[in-house]
Amino acid sequence: MQAADPVIDGQDLQLLQQAAREAGRLAMTFFGQSPETWFKDNKSPVSEADLAVDRFLEAELLKQRPGYGWLSEETVDRPERLSCDRVFIVDPIDGTRAFLAGGSEWTVAIAVVSAGRPRAACVYCPVKDEIFTAQSGFGASMNGTEITVSARPTMNGAILAGPHSIAANDDVARAGVQRSEYIRSLAYRIALVADGRIDIAAARKGPCDWDLAAADLLVQEAGGLVCDLLGNTVSYNKADVRHPTLIAAPDQLIGEAIGLVSKASGA
């Protein structure tokens, strides 16, 4: 595998930021315009906007980095990505349900992954004009200002965002944890942990690489961790892109959060 190179990572991050902003502008031309929509086999919606943004990002990013692999929610998987040193992992519109409903929290999420871990990442929320960025070893920022995870010392009073089955669980309430409004973009949900606006984000079993990779690096670089219920970090660009139940939290809350989410999810 190619060794980590902070110069290349920095150049990749610049590319991701520019592409994410342009992709966001493209997506906004469909936003609120009732784009043509249909359902995938897994019953999740996809629209002509998702596909247009996906085509744009694939053309733009691979034109600049023709040797990189490609993995996107809206593109048929290509096994050759598994042998690439660096891979773009993309969700052209994360939170399509929010996008179609006129919500504000949908995002464009892009990461460059090498040796199983994200090296550069961008999560862009066009409606709010919030762009979250991170480079491995160089911190995370939102609109150019450094961000850090919450400094809350215990779960009591913590804000948790996640699916109803976890966030509204009785054990969660008894622990003094407050329930956030549901955030339909998983990438944005995790990005808000990196920004310290919420303390813990949870995702039930089944998220994919494209939902996670970019936001994972944001949390890591902001002083937290995205992990499974055994405390293992997530490895990307494998043959199987799906993952188990996951949490994102500041380092000091990881142990308590794992215990609580494990109970709430029945794991």
Strands 159-161 and 145-146: unpaired
Annotated binding residues, as ranges?
73, 91, 93-94, 211
Please write the tens of the pLDDT for every residue from 96-121: 999 999 999 999 999 999 999 999 99
**pLDDT reading at 127 higher than 80:** yes
Residue 90 near residue 71 (C-beta atoms within 8 A): yes
Question: What proportion of the chain, given as a percentage, has pLDDT over 90?
Answer: 95
- pLDDT at residue 65, as a whole number: 98
Query: Among 162-166, 187-191, 223-227, 247-251, which is the least confidently predicted range?
Result: 162-166
61-84 average pLDDT score: 97
> In this predicted model, what pLDDT tens digit does every residue of 142-197 receive, in sequence order?
999 999 999 999 999 999 999 999 999 999 999 999 999 999 999 999 999 999 99
Does 6-146 match 159-265 in CATH topology? Answer: no
Global pTM value = 0.96
Third-level CATH fold of 6-146: Fructose-1,6-Bisphosphatase; Chain A, domain 1 (3.30.540)
Integer angstrom CA distances of residue 236 from 57, 88, 170, 213: 20, 11, 33, 7
- Mean pLDDT for the chain overall: 96
**What residues does each domain of the chain span?**
6-146, 159-265
- Is residue 3 very low, low, confident or very high in pLDDT (cuts 50, 70, 90)? low
Query: Alpha carbon of 5 to those of 11, 168, 186, 223: distances in Å?
Result: 10, 43, 28, 21
Q: Class of 159-265 per CATH? A: alpha beta
Number of H-type helices and E-type strands within the chain: 8, 14
Indicate if the pLDDT at residue 41 is higher than 90.
Answer: no
Distance CA 104, CA 25 (A): 14
The stretch 242-267 carries a mean pLDDT of 94
Cβ(17)–Cβ(85) under 8 Å? no
The pLDDT, as a whole number, for residue 4 is 74
Annotated binding-site residue numbers for Mg(2+): 73, 91, 93-94, 211
